[in-house]
Structure 1
Amino acid sequence: MEKIRVMLVEDDSRWQRDITEDLKLEEDLDVVKVVSSKEEAIEAAKHLPLDVILMDINLTDNNLDGIEATSEISNLGKGIKIIMLTALAEREIIVKAIEYGAINYVNKSSIQDILNCIREAHYDQVSLHPDATSAILREIRLKSLTPMEKNIFSLKEEGYTRPQMAEYFHTTLDTIGTHMKNISKKLKRRK
């Protein structure tokens, strides 16, 4: 049986130990390397035969350097699949990780989900984990908004009321209401 070659990039020794132990219990997985920094991850990716990397997002001082490593490793062109492994759930971070080359985003507290993500990634059967899906769908739908709708959406996110928005844009409440309805329709699409 050909094993899936996995590298874990994680700076917390407890998570390193726990995840590695769980991965080693799986007959079809081979933990090739465990590293704790962006630099070690990039160097290992250059020289080791790897199929999948489990990449923590924050490797040092909440710098999102796991995303930077993901970008650099993706640019190597070696076809290594990178799964972001984290406890962070902020929409902007999820979207940035995917934009920079990650193929999935999963919470490190669910080993069964991690195992499924590794296998799916290796066999090119990726389905976004629920931890990432809503953020990605929302971001895609936000791109369908017109510039004016995006401005109104941003103000609404900041807590502006409809009268405040009407005053801000020098328009009527009805116009703001129409834009709000359009925004709502676009963001709730099921297609």
Structure 2
Amino acid sequence: MRNTKIRLLAEAAVMLALAIALSYIKIWDMPMGGSVTLLSMLPIILIAVKNGTGWGVGTAFVFSLFQLLQGVMSGNVFPYCQTLAIVILCVAFDYIVPFTVLGFAAVGKKKFGMAGVYVGIVAVCFIRFLCHYITGVFIWGQWAPEGMAKALYSLLYNGQYMLPETILTLVAAVLLLRAKPIRNLMGLTK
């Protein structure tokens, strides 16, 4: 039992480190935050698939804290947050919730198998998009071009990086999880 917990913790730590490292490899970086990364969400999703939702959510929560730290260190976050309520909204909906939700990607695995995982990946990426969309409307919408609705601006801005990020993550997950050695390593059956 103790060795199993240590192994699970080690796997989560390695995948967390990989996710953090991949988040620094940006294929496309947006000017006001957000980017298409080299599959930074995938290691978090894989922990959820292999070790369950509990481990996935725990690992994803820690990942969200690192994403918050990255955002703070970039200087793109708090200078634009004028009140405590806006800071809380930004921290919650640009960092904690959207990155923690990644840990729920495999919630449908038990009932629907790998199809449930693939639908789960799209679902958590969509929820992540919705979180960024909300802050885009209520915080970042002030940078919308004159005459453009904040909602449309947020949809277009966040869609520019979240759609490619979702597609890349889903395609990589499908390809990776179809490979027999990976399936065996992850304890998945056909």
Normalising to structure 2: TM-score of the pair? 0.28
Normalising to structure 1: TM-score of the pair? 0.28
**Higher radius of gyration, 1 or 2:** 1
Q: Which has the higher contact order (CA 8 A, sep 6+)?
A: 2
More strand by share: 1
More helix by share: 2
